[in-house]
Amino acid sequence: MAKAKGCTHIETDRCKGCGLCVVVCPLELLTLDEKTINIKGYLPAISKDKTQCKGCGFCAMMCPDSVITVMRTSNIKRVSHA
């Protein structure tokens, strides 16, 4: 069975650091980057590990400024019949 996979793109310069996406991610993959201040003066959201994203889209749905894009793919396991 194909396992859902995804990848997030966050427009960090448009992020207002509200943290809603951080709270909603079921895998706790998102955080506010405490080492960066964006052009708006906020700590932007970043992904801690893009490889673990399952593409559920909750973060994008929750973001009030629509700065997150989620691309969804499938990781299809191949079985060899050698």
Which residues lie near ligand SF4 (CB under 6 A)?
Answer: 6, 8, 10, 15-21, 24-25, 27, 29-30, 45, 53-59, 62-63, 65, 67-68, 70
Task: Compare residues 48 and 76 and give the one whose CB is closer to ligand SF4.
Answer: 48
| Least distance in angstroms from the C-beta of 7 to ligand SF4 | 8
Class of residue 81 by CB neighbours under 10 A (exposed 0-12, middle 13-18, buried 19+): exposed
Q: Which is nearer to ligand SF4, 26 or 81 (CB)?
A: 26
Of 33, 62, 26, the residue nearest 47 (C-alpha): 33
- State the CB neighbour count (10 A cutoff) for residue 40: 12
